[in-house]
Amino acid sequence: MGYLFKHLTVRLWTTLTFGSIVCLVALPPLAAVLGPDWMVVPGLILFILAFWLTGAGLAALGRRRMARLLEEATVWDRAGMHREARQAFARATDTVNSFLFSPFSRKVPAERLLAKMARFQLAQAAPEASCDATVDAYLRHFPRDREAAVKWLERILGGREPSPTSHEIASRIGAAHSEDTAIQRMLARFYLAEGRCDYAALQAYQYIVKFDKSPGDDLLGPMAELFLAQSRADFLALMVYLARVDGGDRDPRLLSAIAACQQVIPPGPENLPTLEKAEAVLADLDTSRRRRLAAEFMPRISDSGMEPSAKRASRRWKAVGNGLRNGMNGALRAFCAVGRGMRRLRAVFSTGPAKSMLKWSVMGIFVVGLGWMVVNTAVHLIADNQTEETVPQPVAAPVTDPFTLQVAAYLKEVDARRYADQLKGKDLDAYWTRASSGSKTWYQVRISHFPTKAEARSVGEDLKKRGWIGDYYVANYKRPDVP
């Protein structure tokens, strides 16, 4: 905000200086014609015009300097003199943040500068780590720039360490280029390298499996390994497993995974051809053998479902809702009282001093009413919180609900924490646990616990319809690793 204060200071002093000079020259002739009593209006108009012209002039100077510096940076870049180009960009950045631009006139030059700097950084063979923030900021606001998105993905896949915002940028690029096969392939590689299996990653995997005519073993192989490690048994996983079998992969785990998918996926018009293909793969296995293979692949999963349970979130916000409702009712009564008082005072007082006293009285009543509303709301919330705190909580009550809902699994703990926090922000009882599979440790994100599998499946379907989660499955409840 420093540039705003500098801009206003320079603009106001310039307006006062030149506006005063113009008024001294232009107002005396007008006063002789219109009279001195009317000089306030043309004087105000002249000062407003001077303020606007000053802003337009400063912005024009800033744009001219910006164009010259950007052209200079381009010339240096073409000549291979990158240090000089960076210096020109630094001066252009100082110009954007100077007093020459107002918040309204600054937006277009700032976006133009950001685009130029991002493209310059993406073209460098060995970019500086401190400049990655420029590229990230540009793609976070303009993910539809395909050229910049491809360059950024190439750099990520080339070994650059992802920043804290890289996953958000990748999600935005995927949403902006949802039908671009090349970008979706690169995103799939990025997600597979990170071991991600959340909603954004599954969207990229699904596009590759459904619409890429030649996905290749470099994608299907790691994808199948990731799904096998997570014991995924859904329609997307089934298509990946079948593609690996068609490609000649003889991993015995694939048969167990296909058998598990065949049991848990309900047949429908869209998936019927795929299920028939799975049946052909398992044609040599009898029913009991298929069940044993499915049990080996997912021992803690059954083909039952579950039911939504939003009561916990409802109870959590009940106290807040009651407090806000009481506060709004109190505010309404206060405003009605203020309105009645104003009408009565208007009828009683008509002189100048009485009007002044009426104005200040109304302001005082309004402030008192607003304060009363805030205090009433705060007191009600505190009382509800104290009531909730007096309820005895068991230290380690045994969980009688044996089932839970698993919605994601990560190879990194920080990703599981982040996704669990996102779900908690939607008032879901989310947590994460550790699970070992071979030489890998998975961090599984789960939601709540339920007495029956039918209730669990119903909640999962409800959350999936809302778009809050991707795929899920019902698992045996395990206490979270963190409180």
203-256 pLDDT, tens digit each:
999 998 888 878 888 888 899 999 999 888 899 999 999 988 888 888 888 889
- Kindly report the pTM of this predicted structure: 0.51
Domain ranges for the chain: 2-119, 141-297, 311-389, 403-476
d(CA 74, CA 63): 16
pLDDT in the model for residue 47:
87
CB atoms within 10 A of CB 400: 8
**CATH number, span 403-476:** 3.30.70.1070
Beta strands in 21-133 (DSSP E): none
pLDDT in the model for residue 158:
82
For the sheet containing 440-450, what is the strand order?
430-437, 440-450, 403-410, 473-476
pLDDT in the model for residue 347:
62
d(CA 135, CA 152): 8
d(CA 228, CA 437): 10
pLDDT in the model for residue 316:
53
Residues (pLDDT < 50) of the chain are 301-315, 356, 360, 363-364, 367-372, 374-397, 483
d(CA 158, CA 186): 11
| Residue 96 CB partners (closer than 8 Å, separation 6+) | 62, 66, 106, 109, 110, 113
d(CA 480, CA 413): 13
Helices (H), 286-412: 287-297, 311-348, 352-389
| Residue 302 CB partners (closer than 8 Å, separation 6+) | 453, 474
Q: What size, in residues, is the chain? A: 483
pLDDT in the model for residue 311:
41
Which class for 135: exposed (0-12), middle (13-18), buried (19 or more C-beta within 10 A)? buried
